[in-house]
Structure 1
Amino acid sequence: MRILIVHNLLWAHYKSSVFQALQHLVDQQADLSVQVLQIARNERSRAGLETSGGETPPTYTYNYELLFDRYLEETSVRERTRLLLQRARAYRPDVINLTGYYDPAQLLLLIWAKINGIKVVMQNESTAADQQRGGWKERFKRWIFSQCDGFFCFGSQAAKYVIQLGVPPAKVLLRKNAVDNNALRAVYERALPTRIQQQQALGLKPNNFVFVGRLIEAKNLPMLLTSFAEATKRSKNGDTWGIILLGEGDEQTKLIQTIHTLGLTEHVILLPGRPWFRVPEILALSNVLVLPSRSEPWGLVVNEAMACGLPVIVSERCGCAVDLVHHGQNGFVFDPDQATQLTQQLMQFMDSAVDMEQMGKAAKQFIAPYAPEVVAQEMLNGFIKITN
C-alpha cells in the first residue's frame, strides 16, 4: 500500500511528530510506503514562532517533500494544483490523506483521485460550535464529504460534526489530536529547578494561571481578566496568584487597558510568543492552564499543558474539552458566557480547595492515549481498513 499525505505547513510540529511515528510503523512492513507533501514552509501569522534566540527546534525524520519554500499565502491555487497532481501521478498512491476541504487545489486532487479509483481520507478539525454553520457552504461540504472514504478527526466533537453532515460513523477512523508529549515534558522538567529564580526575574507571583495563544477576540481574554479580578478580591490567597498571558495579537492594547482598569498591573504579565519547544519553560512558572475561548476547534495547548502535568480550566467551546478534560479530576470545564463559573473555578485553585498535585498526575494519565505513536497507529489502521 502506498500512502500519500498532503499537509499545509512544514512548521506544524505536532503533525511532524505523528508523521515520524507513522514512518516508523511503515518501515517495519515491506509492502507499505508513505510520502508526505508539505505545501509550504509556514504561514505569515506564525513566522515569528519558527525559531527563537538561535535555538534549534527538535527535528523529525520522515519521507517528505516541501513543495514551496515560502509562506502558504504566497502560493497560488494554480501552483498548488499543478504540483500536487504532478507528484500524485508520479507516486501512484493507493490512498491519499487530504489536510482539509477549504483548499481548491486539494479538492481538485480529490476529484482526480476519485476518477482514478484512489481512496481518500479527509482530515477534519472543525466542530459545529466553533463557527456559525448553515447555508450553501454546509451543503457543499456535505457533497465533499460524500466523496471521501474515511475521516481523521481532531476529537469527538469534530467527528460528531462530520456525522451530522451525513458521514456514516464507520467512516470516522480517528478521533484524536496529539503533540510531542515527551519532548515537551523534557523541556518542562529542565526548567523546573529554576522556577523561583525565573519568577522573581520576571516579577511574577509565586502561583500563576497561564494562557498560551494569540491575543485575539475569540480567545475571550477580557472575561478571564474580569473573573480573575473578582477571584483575587474574594480569595484569602489573592495576593499570591497572578496570570501569565503568553502570546501576541490584535487585542494586546485593549488587554493592557483592561488590566489597568481592573487594577491588575501587579498580577498580570504579558510575554511575547515563543516557539512551541520553548513554551514549557513558561508552563514551568505556572500552576494551571486556562483556555477561555469562545471558538476553538481543538486547543493543542491543553495537550501541551497536560503533558507537562498541569491541571487545566477549559471552555466548553474548545473541541478538546470533551475528550481531554475530566471535570473535577484533571481540571474543569466552564461556559465561556458565564464569568461567575470561571471565577469559582479559579478560586478552587487559589483557595487550595482541590488537590493540584493529584490533578497534575491525572492530567499525565489522561493525555497518554493522545501521543504521536498512538495516533500514528490509528491512522495506519484506518488506511489499511479502507484500502482493504
Structure 2
Amino acid sequence: MIKTCIWMNIPSHYQSAFFQALDARDDVDLSVVYFNGASSDRAAEGWNSGHEQKAYEIFAEGNTEPQKQVERVEDWSNRVHIICGYFNEALIDFFCKRDVRWCHWSEKPGIRLAELLGYHMSLFRLLYPFQLLAKRSYGARIRNYALGAFGQGHLAKSAFQRMGVPAAKTADLYYSPGPLSPAEPCRQMMDFAAGRKIFLMVGALCKRKGIDVLLKAFSRIENNREWCIVFCGLDKADGAYKALSEKLGIQDQVLFLGAYPIERISEVYCAADVFVLPSRFDGWGTVFNEAASLGVPLIGTDLCGGSWHLIREGRTGYRVRAASAKSMSDALRKYINHPADAEVHGQAAKALFSAEFTPARNAERFVTSLKLWGAQ
C-alpha cells in the first residue's frame, strides 16, 4: 500500500479525474491538500467556481506554519508527499529536516521568464539555459532529499535534468482529465462556418497563447476560403485580436466565441475539424487531451509540453515552432490541402488518448514510478 499526500495550489477539473482514479485503487491511500480555492480569474474563463470536496481532500489553513498544515493530514509522517510546483519552500524544508519522503511535481519552469521578456521567444530560448543553471540548487535538493521529480512530460523532465536531477529520478506524470463525452456541435460555430471547415483554438486570448501568430499564419495562406477559425476563450486583450483580424482582411473567417462553460465544452470541440494551440509557452496544454478524446486532430507548438506526447507527427497532427507564423502556416496548409487527413489523424489521436492519457493510465504511471523509487 502506497500512502501519499498531494499538495496542490487550487482545485482543478484537469486533475480531479486523476485523483479519483488514484483513490479507486486498492494499493493507494490518498490525501489531497489545496492551499487556495478556485480563483475568480479561472471562473471567468469558464471553470466551475464551486468545488465538490471529496473525502480525501482538505484545504490548508492560510498563513500557518508547515507543522500545523501537515498535522491535518492523517498519518502524515508515513506518507509520500507530492509537492506541486515551486510555491512552498517552507513545506519542503520541513520534510527535508524530518526525513519525510517527498517528490517534486511540476511543468517545465520558465513561464515567468517568458513573461518578463514580453514573450520574445528567440530571446527566451537564448536565456532559458541560464535560468535552469540558476535552479541547480533546487535540483540538488531534489537529487539529495527527494524520492524523485514528476514532470509534465518531456520538456519538464529535460529541464529537471539540466537542473542536475539524474534521469533515473525523473518520471512522466501528466495532466489527465477524463475523456469528454460527444455532444451536439455548437450551433453558433456551425452557423458561422456555414459549411466551411473549422480550425479551433480553446484558451484565453492573450499574447502567451499566440493568438496573433495563428491569425497571421492563416492570413498567409492563399486558398483558405473553405476554412475558418474559431477562438473559444476569455478576451484578455480588449479586442486587439478582433482588430488584427480586420487589419489582415480575414474578419469574415474568424469567430470570437468568448468563454464557454466547462460543462458544455464538448459542444465546441465537436464542431471543430482541427484543434490548434499556438501558445508561445504552455507547460502542458490540457486542451490537447480534451480535443484528442473527441477525435479532433492537433496542431501545437514545440513549447507546449503536451505537443511532445499527444502529437505524433503526421499521424495525430503536427508540431510547429512557437511564435513562428511561417511554421504554423505550413501546418495549417497541410490540412487545407488535404482535408481528409483531419478525420484520419483525429481517430489516431483518440486511440492514443485512450491508450496512454486516461486518468487510470496516469494513476498506474504514478504508482509504478513510486514503487521504482522505493516508496513502499
Q: TM-score, normalised by structure 1?
A: 0.83
1:98 to 83, 91, 97: 83
1:138 aligns to 2:135 (yes or no): yes
- Decide which moves more: 145-154 or 289-298: 145-154
Aligned counterpart, 1:166: 164
Report the Cα distance in structure 2 between the residues aligned to 1:62 and 1:378, rounded to whole angstroms: 23
Aligned counterpart, 1:376: 363
Aligned counterpart, 1:125: 107
Aligned counterpart, 1:65: 58
Aligned counterpart, 2:269: 283
Report the Cα distance in structure 1 between the residues aligned to 2:73 and 2:311, rounded to whole angstroms: 40
Matched AA of 1:376: A
1:6 aligns to 2:3 (yes or no): no
Instruction: Give ranges in structure 1 of 5+ residues lacking alignment.
Output: 69-74
Report the Cα distance in structure 2 between the residues aligned to 1:202 and 1:144, rounded to whole angstroms: 54
2:18·2:176 contact (CA, 8 Å) conserved in 1? yes
Matched AA of 2:41: S
1:179 aligns to 2:165 (yes or no): no
With over 3 angstroms needed to count, the CA separation of the structure-2 counterparts of 1:201 and 1:150, relative to structure 1, is: same
Aligned counterpart, 2:36: 40
2:151·2:172 contact (CA, 8 Å) conserved in 1? yes
Aligned counterpart, 2:121: none
Cα deviation, 1:49-96, whole Å, max 9, x if unaligned, reads: 2349xxx99x6855111336xxxxxx5xx3374652332586333311
Aligned counterpart, 1:110: 92
1:226 to 199, 216, 220: 216
Aligned counterpart, 1:313: 299
Matched AA of 2:368: N
Give the alignment's Cα RMSD to 1 decimal: 2.6
Matched AA of 1:122: H
Cα deviation, 1:302-335, whole Å, max 9, x if unaligned, reads: 1111111011111112111221211111111112
Aligned counterpart, 1:387: 375
2:173·2:365 contact (CA, 8 Å) conserved in 1? no
1:302·1:312 contact (CA, 8 Å) conserved in 2? yes
Question: Paired residues, what number?
Answer: 356
Report the Cα distance in structure 2 between the residues aligned to 1:62 and 1:380, rounded to whole angstroms: 20
Question: What is the DSSP-based 3-state SS (H/G/I as helix, E as strand, rest coil) of the residue aligned with 1:251?
Answer: coil
Please state how far the C-alpha of 1:120 moved relative to its aligned partner: 0.6
1:204·1:267 contact (CA, 8 Å) conserved in 2? no
Please state how far the C-alpha of 1:203 moved relative to its aligned partner: 6.1
Report the Cα distance in structure 2 between the residues aligned to 1:283 and 1:60, rounded to whole angstroms: 28
Report the Cα distance in structure 2 between the residues aligned to 1:79 and 1:272, rounded to whole angstroms: 39
Cα deviation, 1:314-367, whole Å, max 9, x if unaligned, reads: 111211122121111111111234322322321222233552211111111222
Aligned counterpart, 1:323: 309
With over 3 angstroms needed to count, the CA separation of the structure-2 counterparts of 1:384 and 1:290, relative to structure 1, is: same
2:18·2:359 contact (CA, 8 Å) conserved in 1? yes
Question: What is the DSSP-based 3-state SS (H/G/I as helix, E as strand, rest coil) of the residue aligned with 1:123?
Answer: strand
Please state how far the C-alpha of 1:278 moved relative to its aligned partner: 2.1
Report the Cα distance in structure 2 between the residues aligned to 1:249 and 1:144, rounded to whole angstroms: 40
Question: What is the DSSP-based 3-state SS (H/G/I as helix, E as strand, rest coil) of the residue aligned with 1:41?
Answer: coil
Question: What is the DSSP-based 3-state SS (H/G/I as helix, E as strand, rest coil) of the residue aligned with 2:205?
Answer: coil
Aligned counterpart, 1:363: 349
How do 1:198-209 residues align onto structure 2 when only pairs under 5 Å count?
198-202=188-192, 206-209=196-199
Instruction: Give ranges in structure 2 of 5+ residues lacking alignment.
Output: 115-123
Matched AA of 1:270: F
Report the Cα distance in structure 1 between the residues aligned to 2:137 and 2:5, rounded to whole angstroms: 25
Question: What is the DSSP-based 3-state SS (H/G/I as helix, E as strand, rest coil) of the residue aligned with 1:141?
Answer: helix
2:210·2:323 contact (CA, 8 Å) conserved in 1? no
Identity of aligned residues (%): 22
Aligned counterpart, 1:266: 252
Please state how far the C-alpha of 1:110 moved relative to its aligned partner: 1.6
With over 3 angstroms needed to count, the CA separation of the structure-2 counterparts of 1:114 and 1:51, relative to structure 1, is: closer
Cα deviation, 1:207-254, whole Å, max 9, x if unaligned, reads: 1101111111111211211111122xx21xx33311111112432421
1:173·1:382 contact (CA, 8 Å) conserved in 2? yes
Question: What is the DSSP-based 3-state SS (H/G/I as helix, E as strand, rest coil) of the residue aligned with 1:122?
Answer: strand
Question: What is the DSSP-based 3-state SS (H/G/I as helix, E as strand, rest coil) of the residue aligned with 1:9?
Answer: coil
Matched AA of 2:7: V
Please state how far the C-alpha of 1:264 moved relative to its aligned partner: 1.7
